[in-house]
Structure 1
């Protein structure tokens, strides 16, 4: 069998030689560099994030990309061939500077970013170089605080809670201060909780305040401080938003009015807040048709006052009518004050009303003093009259005791007919005693009569006389009648 000649092994030799020869650009690939200089970047939410990456020329064919995270969960932030990605080149058209910008950074953009060089392969783009990664920290400013209070108005003296809230901030460290009219108040509670995105936090702070009547112009202030802030965030709350001061209702009732006079009833609504109030007048429980209610006026303390007046004619039909002022403030229970109309039938004002001033009391006291003085004077006069009458009854005894002196020369010693007090002091045992005296032309006699028969052992004295009767007799004598149970003495005095 004839052997075929062998072919020279030139093709295999050429392949070996070609494999030993360096590929074009192999030295260039060996010198390719990718630089990602930023290890950590801190950015505030809402600002623009800048991520730096540069490469040298001569690398393999393939794109440069930015990835957030590494592995199966990585996200493409920038693709050289895909303009739909939201990372944008800082220098467009450059083959070496692949720095990107991420505008309006959000807290969820925090993470680690990688700059990656890929090379083309039959199966697609393959990793060729990767940077060391840049850790991005997104700091979020807290939102403007809000302050809320109770839903309904509260009267002075009650304790009320207020809540200050802020959210969306990162990191979680945050400070809250409270002030009332620039005076610090210690908060009772501060609570920080994770936000919905797990990259932010929320805060709430509570403070309690006891309301005062003078808090109309007062305000609470919540102050929030955070590392992302160059100045504190504040929010104020005016206490007038939840304060209600009930009114004081005063009604000044008039005194009794004359017939057909016009009387005005005045209702003062004092010191209330807010200024919304309704005033209604009623006569004997029936609403009256009055003019429009005047507008309240504001005081220096921020409270309000209002005065409402209604006028009626004082006729007899309205005597004793009850007029009421009913005040409704802020939908609360009404406050009422009443006054009664008193009409004088004579048309003149009288002062016996309980609503008159202190002059009536003075008049009552003066009348009482005058009546007392008059009563004392009457008693004194009656006493003096009685004393005078007593003295008048005893005057004849003096005439009997001392004989009357005549104008003649005859004396008591020489006149046997004159009788003295001693002549009356005779013994009572004698039942019939008669002293006979001649009757002259003019004579006087005294009849002494006892009320009962004297005892046998007593002498009749002046004290036992029941009556002394003196009279002027005519020319004939007027003897006293003689009784068995009495004695009498007849005294006749002769006048010359």
Structure 2
């Protein structure tokens, strides 16, 4: 039996050697068929790709391979006689008719056209293509990565306009949409920039400008991405508080002020509406640091901002009167801000003087204004009183002397040039007793008249009145002035200038 089998094998080998390759294939080559039924396949990135290929008819020696692409840039994906690639596996191992393969975790770089090819050996033992499938065009839909929103690297203060960027990548196809929101309110953004990243994949970048405000501490920016591979839109967010810095306002108050000597004055520093919370407070007295035992911690407001209240107690001694107490605030490692108040002391031993000094310091301007107004009013009252007194004096005028000139007639007109033509004089004299007589010096150009009156009766309020008619006083040689009369008479002298 063994000898028979050996003989049969020997005969077959001889036939193969004698038979030319093309002649032997011709016996069953017409019955061999290679089927690749898939024209196009769409698969999502990360999924498993199935490529179908089957053979029918006579079994022909030679390998079956899967190739990606055709021509000089073709790449072997699966070889029946070689160890498969890590992501590639055969659907039915050891099968001579089913050459279907699986490609796990498909990526956009797997996009291309795949061919199932049957090879045979030629006359020179070199493999030749016997049959090739129609090819399967594979498209991979790649989902965009979760959007990432980034802002400025350093914190900025309210009022500044800064850019925020939304990025995503690794998606296919290229078309993608982006929307921006601030606290669910739509925002206007620049046109997104889409660039090719790797083979058949794309990246996207979109930028929006935001002007930050103090109220933006709780605000949030949202970048919304939509793509054909997504069942739901992707969102990326950014808290504006991450890049916002709100500097504090600082106020210092002293209570009580002014303070009594040796009493305690409490200085309060109010640090208002700041963000972030990292802040430090120190106290200075005339530039020298005061150590504070109780360190205050910031409190949070409903707006998201913070506040802080710091206090220090200072002994109100006389030598500290007028001292400057300063609150120094360092916020978020920025330049310090400060505010000051003064320590005023009211010394009871000085009584009203101390109070007056304090009032002058605090209300100097008010007192100056009040003083000016009072001075103006006083001057006005004095002027009014003076005018009233002047009128009264004129109304109650003491006896006076009046010189009257008669009405001029036509005759008088002709005598107007006569210096001796004076008519009469009225004289009013005070009722008081004169002890000193007034003398009028005479000259050559004047006339002199003397009048003596009796003392007015007691209780008579009327003015003593005398009429003196002087008609053509004749020129007389120079004579001495009249002597004073007795004490019971009044004396008056009238000097008449020569015309």
Does the TM-score normalized on the shorter chain lie above 0.5? yes
For the residues of structure 1 that align with 2:95 and 2:454, how far apart are their CA atoms?
Answer: 166
CA contact (8 A) 1:448 1:488 kept: no
Deviation by residue 1:165-192 (Cα, 9 ceiling, x = unmatched): 1111122111111111111111124211
Q: Which moved more, 1:450-459 or 1:270-279?
A: 450-459
For the residues of structure 1 that align with 2:91 and 2:360, how far apart are their CA atoms?
Answer: 93
The equivalent residue for 1:152 is 154
For the residues of structure 2 that align with 1:244 and 1:92, how far apart are their CA atoms?
Answer: 66
The equivalent residue for 1:487 is 485
CA contact (8 A) 2:92 2:100 kept: yes
CA contact (8 A) 2:119 2:129 kept: yes
Alignment CA distance shift 1:70-1:343 (3 Å):
same
Deviation by residue 1:259-307 (Cα, 9 ceiling, x = unmatched): 1111011111101111111111001111111124201111111111111
Tell me how far 1:118 sits from its aligned partner. Answer: 2.5
SS in 1 for 2:297: coil
For the residues of structure 2 that align with 1:463 and 1:184, how far apart are their CA atoms?
Answer: 114
The equivalent residue for 2:39 is 39
SS in 2 for 1:83: coil
Tell me how far 1:103 sits from its aligned partner. Answer: 0.2
Matched, 1:224 2:225: yes
Aligned length: 400
For the residues of structure 2 that align with 1:102 and 1:461, how far apart are their CA atoms?
Answer: 156
Tell me how far 1:48 sits from its aligned partner. Answer: 0.7
For the residues of structure 1 that align with 2:370 and 2:90, how far apart are their CA atoms?
Answer: 108
Matched, 1:234 2:235: yes
The equivalent residue for 2:207 is 206
RMSD (Å), alpha carbons? 4.1
The equivalent residue for 1:451 is 437
The equivalent residue for 1:61 is 61
SS in 1 for 2:159: coil
Tell me how far 1:134 sits from its aligned partner. Answer: 0.7
2:321 aligned to which of 319, 322, 338: 319
The equivalent residue for 1:273 is 275
The equivalent residue for 1:329 is 331
SS in 1 for 2:164: strand
Deviation by residue 1:200-242 (Cα, 9 ceiling, x = unmatched): 1111111101111111111111111111111111100111111
Q: Tell me the TM-score normalised to structure 2 length.
A: 0.70
Alignment CA distance shift 1:370-1:82 (3 Å):
same
Alignment CA distance shift 1:40-1:461 (3 Å):
farther
CA contact (8 A) 1:66 1:79 kept: yes
For the residues of structure 2 that align with 1:261 and 1:485, how far apart are their CA atoms?
Answer: 86
Q: Larger radius of gyration, structure 1 or 2? A: 1
Q: Which runs of 5 or more residues in structure 1 are unaligned?
A: 1-14, 395-425, 429-445, 466-483, 492-496
Q: Which runs of 5 or more residues in structure 2 are unaligned?
A: 1-14, 399-426, 441-446, 458-481, 490-499
The equivalent residue for 2:444 is none
CA contact (8 A) 1:146 1:164 kept: yes
Alignment CA distance shift 1:363-1:294 (3 Å):
farther
